[in-house]
Structures are given as C-alpha cells and as structure tokens.
Amino acid sequence: MRKLLPTLIGLFVMLTATPALTQEKVIMMSTTTSTEASGLLGYLLPEFTKDTGITVRVMAKGTGASLRDGMDGNADVIFVHDVAREEKFVAEGYGTKRYYVMYNDFIIVGPANDPAGIGKAPDAAAALQRIAAAAAPFVSRGDDSGTHARERQLWQATGLPLTEARSPRDGDGWYFSIGQGMGEALIFAEEKNGYVLADRGTYLQYKFGRQQPYELEIVYEGDDMLKNPYGVIPVNPAKHPHVKFELADTFARWLVSERGQQVIGNYKLHGQLLFFPDAK
C-alpha cells in the first residue's frame, strides 16, 4: 500500500490539474455579429488554435454590447468595428491597445428596381436623402452595433432633421428601428421590400449561402463612408485582473502577424473576398 500511495497521489494531482491547465488555454472573445455571420470566424479560429493551442470561445453581438463586455470584464478580448468607440475604450483604460486587423465595406441593399433611385446618388448620404424623400421603407438595426453607428453617421451627413438618437423618427411609416442583428434586419427589409445598410459579408451569406432565396440586391456601394475597419483589443488586466491577458494578446498579435493576415486574406465567400488584411 505504501508503494502505491505516491502513485495514487501523483495520479490524483494529474487528474485534478488537467481541467485547470485546459481552462488556461481558453479565452472569451466578444465580437460583432458580422465576423461570425460571414463565416470568417469558422475559418479563422481553427487555424489560430492549430498554431497556438488556444481555444477562443465567441460571444457574437453588436459592437456596443461587445465593448460593454470588455468594460465589465466579461471578455478577455474584443474584435469589433467602430474606430471612435474603440479608441475611447483604450483611452479610458479598458483595453491595452487597438490593433488594426482588416476592413471590408458596407452596402445599401434594396429592391432590384430601386424605387428611391439611390443607385445614381453621388454619395451614401445622398442615397439616404433619396430614401427619406421617397418615404421608401428603410430598416435600421437600432441595436448600438458598429453597423448602426455607421448608419447614424450617414444620417447626420444628410442634413435632415433627426431625433436625439441621430436617426429619422421611427413610426413615420417608412423608417423601422428593430433593435436586432444584421440577419434579422435583412429579413425584415425583404419583408418590407425596403432598404437596409448591411455589411457585405452577412448580405452575401443570406443571398447565396441559404437554401431559402433572398431577393434584395446591392443597390448602392463604393462610397468612402462605407469603408468598414475592424480592430482587436485585449482587455486591460489593470482594470480586470482576472482576464487572461497573455492569451488574449497572443490572439491579437497572431491576427496582425503575417500568418494571421494571410488566413484573413484567403477567406472567400461564394468566390468573393470579404475582408482585406489591414495590419499597420
């Protein structure tokens, strides 16, 4: 029995330590819905895990909610797309550094016959002016996401009278703020035969990646105000000592490394490149 005791103790230590060691290699990431809905994370994260042994668990939500996760210490790292709020997040000490990762673009989706005539608008703000003038149905995510933030910037650029929320008044019969994600906004816009500001990746997934057809088309694209940069920020352990900063920082640095940028640049959806590597 005395000879077996050290062996049993060693086995007990191994069994009890294994879950802790495994847990240490897992980080929680809060990210915008577009990185998940576009299929990027399903392609990217297995490559990261293969290279580092670190598993990333994902909470996909609007950028505003992801930033709040970081502020509350509910995530180890955030991966979002609202530069002004990301820089504020770092300046206030919630994040250690914002890493430029990639960009894609927003598009305005609507009926193929484009009843508001936005396809010939000189810029994106003018496109929204035409939608408002025609009182054509427009669906807003209304969820404090990065997409919603960009939409509000575009409405401000129109010079039109807006509410305190920097948008047209919901309830006028043409503007619908639904407080939901990109997928739900696309479906609602289709039901209304209306317009919606969308990220290109999620739109393509709904257009070509589902058995059920999606009828709305890209009717406006290409304006500089539609460029959509993404950044990754490890949460600051000085604010939240429990976060797994070293693992989160490993993830951030991998994303901007030659290897991570190559993986991002290789991802295509239905033959189209969705995200352009942009590490600086």
Least confident span in 11-15, 41-45, 170-174, 244-248: 11-15
pLDDT of 179-201, one tens digit each?
999 999 999 999 999 999 999 98
Count the neighbouring beta carbons within 10 Å of the beta carbon of residue 271. Answer: 7
**Closest-CA residue to 104 (of 11, 233, 221, 241):** 221
Distance CA 49, CA 69 (A): 23
The torsion angles phi and psi of 184, rounded to 5 degrees, stand at -65, -40
pLDDT for residue 22: 44
Structure tokens, 113: 């016959």
Residue 136 is encoded by which pair of tokens? Answer: 């054509």
Token pair recorded at residue 251 = 């993830």
Cα separation, 245 vs 233, in Å, equals 10
What is the chain's mean pLDDT, rounded? Answer: 91
Strand, helix or coil for residue 172:
coil
pLDDT at 4 over 80: no
Domains with residue ranges and CATH for the chain: 26-104+230-277 (3.40.190.10), 105-227 (3.40.190.10)
pLDDT at 20: 42
pTM: 0.78
- Cβ neighbours around 87 below 10 Å, total: 14
Give the residue-averaged pLDDT of 209-237: 94
Which band of pLDDT confidence, cut at 50, 70 and 90, is reported for residue 278? Answer: very high
3 state SS of 109: strand
